[in-house]
Structure 1
Amino acid sequence: MRWTGPSLARLVVELDQAPGIAETAETAVEHAVSAIAATSAGLVLNQSGNPVAAVTTDPAVEELHEFELGAKAGPVMEAFTNRTMVGIDDTAVELRWPAWQQTVVGLGLRTELHVPLMASGNLIGVVSWYHTEPKAFSHDDIAIAELIAAHTAIALHTARTAAVLDEAVDARRLLGQALGILMERHDIEEQHAFAILRRYSQHTNTKLRDVAAQLIETRRLPD
């Protein structure tokens, strides 16, 4: 096995120190490549039930992800949809997705491994490993890949939760400032001021947070 205990410890620390979702994903794929001596790696995130290409270590993988997510067919989509690990020993003889096969062989990628990222019962995304040679990943490599995926899923779930909380706190702060402006300007109570903001939000089909932000910036409600 190429990976060691210190390697895992370093991954956990760096994932924990990553400041956001994008940085966490980048850290994960960087470690993924070296962990099992893959030639490249990539990560797809679950965004409202849809797979979105997040980060790759190679332009060929980026091109393949764009093709596969656009065609909605291939091993990444299989892992994403069914929440199951998908391994391909030789893309040259894989016949389940003909259009994908032509593309992947043309890009020179022969071995693939895709592991879903699960945390708290939720699909966070899929992390993928690639190699230019067929049958490149051993059983030990697969075990390491699953370990990396488990830690990556937790880190991404934590980062996403933190981002949502930060956004909620920021929205509450903006709303409070906007309400204060309306209450002072029109000498009205908070409930009335909130009703005004909500009405503008509904009539303009704009998020309440954005209406509040515009009021704070311009000192006037949108037309």
Structure 2
Amino acid sequence: MGDAESALWLSEAFAAMAEALHGQPSRDQVLQEITELAATTADGAQYAGVTLLRRGKPLESPAYTHPLVPAVDLAQTETGEGPCIPNPDSDRGLAEPVVRIEDMSAERRWPRFACEAARLGVASMLSCRLVEERDVSGRLNLLAAEPGAFGVETAKTMAVLATHAAMALSAATAIENLSNAVASRQVIGEATGILMERHRVTSREAFGMLVRASQSLNVKLREIALHVVSTGQNPAELGPADFAGAARP
């Protein structure tokens, strides 16, 4: 395939990818679509996955094409190093848009992680920045059992895919947050109406009853409202046992 044909193929492939990504209705589905597109598009890739790192928490593996991927993420968490783990001195890896590990047996930047990855059967890795914000960072990772699986052109291709994916992920997250906000507003309105009718209070007073219960129990306002809607119970009578496992503010 010549340069012109290759460029045309990539253009058509990325147009199809963008349509597929932006057509996904939720954040989780976008993440899964990203991993599947990466695994089938990148030359040399056997497995793909998205890795997220939230402040103060271990690495998360929300989407992957094979169980080996979260095992590699766990190796990064346990060794405290790798392309998805921030270096306390330089943030090495996270600051780089694309990181290539050509041969785990010869990797010197993250030797403990490389040793564990090699033990799991991974010889080479390509990691592309997907999102990097104040409280969360994410990378798109490709793995292969053979050394030198990912060349410069593959790295460039995946960097473009990661850019498309990041935009689709941002859009899906915004839509999901908006949908959740609308749903929360609706249930809080229902709970307020129930309290107004049962306790003969004003709308402001009913909302205040929900807020006080939320603050007293350290439970999200939406969870308090859901409980009131399903049981009709006075929020002042609720206790911690009523919200075992509920989300905290």
- What corresponds to 1:131 in structure 2? 144
Does 1:75 find its partner at 2:83? yes
Q: 1:194 to 1:83 in 2, by over 3 A?
A: farther
1: CA distance between counterparts of 2:179 and 2:67?
A: 33
Alignment RMSD, CA only? 2.3
Residue type of the alignment partner of 1:22: D
1: CA distance between counterparts of 2:164 and 2:128?
A: 12
Residue type of the alignment partner of 1:175: I
Does 1:11 find its partner at 2:17? yes
- What corresponds to 2:48 in structure 1? 41
Q: 1:83 to 1:188 in 2, by over 3 A?
A: farther
Does 1:217 find its partner at 2:230? yes
Residue type of the alignment partner of 2:153: D
Counting only pairs closer than 5 Å after superposition, residues 172-183 of structure 1 correspond to structure 2 as 172-183=185-196
State which drifts further: 74-83 or 122-131. 74-83
- What corresponds to 1:189 in structure 2? 202
CA contact (8 A) 2:124 2:143 kept: yes
Q: CA deviation at 1:46?
A: 4.5
State which drifts further: 146-155 or 7-16. 7-16
2: CA distance between counterparts of 1:75 and 1:119?
A: 13
Q: 1:191 to 1:80 in 2, by over 3 A?
A: farther
Q: TM-score, normalising length from structure 2? A: 0.81
State which drifts further: 64-73 or 161-170. 64-73
- What corresponds to 2:244 in structure 1? none
- What corresponds to 2:64 in structure 1? 56
Q: TM-score, normalising length from structure 1? A: 0.90
SS in 1 for 2:85: helix
Does 1:97 find its partner at 2:105? no
State which drifts further: 93-102 or 103-112. 93-102
CA contact (8 A) 1:83 1:123 kept: no
Residue type of the alignment partner of 1:74: G
- What corresponds to 1:206 in structure 2? 219
Match of 1:66 among 64, 74, 77: 74
1: CA distance between counterparts of 2:214 and 2:101?
A: 50
Q: 1:200 to 1:218 in 2, by over 3 A?
A: same
Q: CA deviation at 1:31?
A: 0.9
Residue type of the alignment partner of 1:55: A
- What corresponds to 2:31 in structure 1? 25
Q: CA deviation at 1:123?
A: 5.9
SS in 1 for 2:139: strand
Give identity over the alignment, percent.
28
CA contact (8 A) 2:81 2:110 kept: yes
Q: CA deviation at 1:55?
A: 1.5
2: CA distance between counterparts of 1:96 and 1:191?
A: 59
Could you give the per-residue CA deviations for residues 83-132 of structure 1, whole angstroms, max 9, x where no partner exists? 54211111110123232122111122111111111389996511011122
Residue type of the alignment partner of 1:76: C
1: CA distance between counterparts of 2:136 and 2:96?
A: 7
Residue type of the alignment partner of 2:33: T
Residue type of the alignment partner of 1:90: D
2: CA distance between counterparts of 1:118 and 1:62?
A: 18
